[in-house]
Amino acid sequence: MFVIVSRFLIPKGFRGITLFPFIIVSERDLKRNAVMIHHEKIHIRQQVELLIVPFFVWYGIEFLVRWIQFKDRKSAYWNISFEREAYANEKDLHYLQQRSFWKFLKYL
């Protein structure tokens, strides 16, 4: 895992993005934000479990389904199973040590 700081690689309205094996954050201070980095580490685990490319395909399809369902991009994002798992567990810094395989399915 490598943490990179770049405002130009982050979509507008976001503070970070994970593209295995990189965590990209928009500001230098975020590199020291344990909760933010842990959130992104959860995404790394999800990406590895789904062999990276299928993760992004699933993420994109689920986003489109949620966008149709909620008719709002923000609501679609907040309801993607991968994001729901990461946000629900980002403050538990020991979560990844006890997380079971494909746990994101619980959040579908």
pLDDT tens string 46-78 = 999 999 999 999 999 999 999 999 999 999 999
DSSP 32: G
Residue 49 has phi, psi (to 5 degrees) of -60, -35
Q: Residue 101's pLDDT is what?
A: 96
Q: Residue 50's pLDDT is what?
A: 98
Task: Report the distance separating Cα 30 and Cα 54, nearest Å.
Answer: 28
Host domain of residue 26? 2-107
Q: How many domains does the chain have?
A: 1
Report which of 75, 90, 98, 93 is spatially closest to residue 43, judged by C-alpha positions: 90
Supply the pTM of this predicted model.
0.96
Q: What is the pLDDT of residues 71-100, one digit of tens each?
A: 999 999 999 999 999 999 999 999 999 999
Q: Residue 91's pLDDT is what?
A: 98
Angle between helices 81-89 and 34-49 (to 10 degrees): 140
